[in-house]
Amino acid sequence: MTAVGRFRRAAPGSVGLALEFLLLGALWGSSFLFMRLGLGEFGALPTVGVRVGIAALFLWPLVVLRGEAGVLLKNWKRLFLMGVFNAGIPFLCFAFALQSISTGLAAIVNATVPMFGAMVAWLWFHDRPGGLRTLGLVIGFAGVALLASGNVGAAPGASGTSPLWGVLACLVATMCYAISASATQRYLGGLPALATAAGSQTGATLALILPTAWAWPARMPGLQAWISLVFLGVMCSGFAYVLYFRLIERAGPSRTVTVTYLVPVFAIVYGALLLGESATGWMLLCGFIIVCGTALSSGMLKWPAKPMKET
């Protein structure tokens, strides 16, 4: 049995499911690190274009070997469009943001995905949140506002861009993730996770191929930058998105996007150990507020039920 075959047969609700969440959080946490390492030589557009292109090249042979190419081609329009909103736009937003903010800060903003997911479910599926979930939305947005306010007067990064624009770009990315997660369940439910991942990465590649060629650096990037993008494409995009779409199918979008709670932890550790970044007290405080609000708004935290009185 192939590794992909064993992966697809993990039992729902098992320890394997928790391990998949942990692995996905670790992979996506490292994506901020490897984007930062590639950005300096590639630039934002080529970094994202090469990332999704490598992911598509990695996934297509697996799709063919599993006999799922027909499913992908039959649903190519929806899959390709999903790729633009689930990979192309958010990846580009984060690449732009990382030119002016730290990897840890970008990952903390990324943790708002479940909060935006609750808003999308409310507006799209009419899943109106109760009082506690509404309170969570308010708390989460307050945390985002505080985090953004702390970057209003910050000095521009090496790219000359204000960190505030970096935070706003991350928020656009998280909104795209939230919309595409619900759209995946509604329009792509039942499709194999591998075919869904390959189709989305292919769609993002086609959307970015011309912009990538236009923005290609005049000097060929070095080996470290290429290795960073290969890891981004194969592990953080290719393999990670198979995990992601599989978890959406098994656990639903609202629970799957809570993996973003784990991403800042890994990203901050990677950034501190490998990039020499530091997490400020204000950033951690706002991150804590955001995570608490997001946990409430997504229904992950609830008041304990009152015990019944014995008669």
Q: Is residue 306 part of a domain?
A: no
Mean pLDDT of 167-175: 93
The type of residue at 26 is A
Total number of domains in the chain: 1
Tell me what pLDDT residue 158 has. Answer: 56
The type of residue at 244 is Y
Q: Is residue 291 part of a domain?
A: yes
Q: Is residue 185 part of a domain?
A: yes
Q: Is residue 302 part of a domain?
A: no
**pTM (two decimals):** 0.80
Give the tens place of pLDDT for each residue, 87-100.
Answer: 999 999 999 999 98
Range of the domain at 282: 12-217+231-297
The answer on pLDDT for 307 being more than 60 is: no
Query: Residue 300 — very low, low, confident or very high, per pLDDT cuts 50/70/90?
Result: low
The answer on pLDDT for 12 being more than 50 is: no
Query: Residue 2 — very low, low, confident or very high, per pLDDT cuts 50/70/90?
Result: very low
The answer on pLDDT for 144 being more than 70 is: yes
Q: Is residue 1 part of a domain?
A: no
Mean pLDDT of 232-240: 93
Give the tens place of pLDDT for each residue, 19-77.
Answer: 888 899 899 999 999 999 999 999 999 999 999 999 999 999 999 999 999 999 999 99
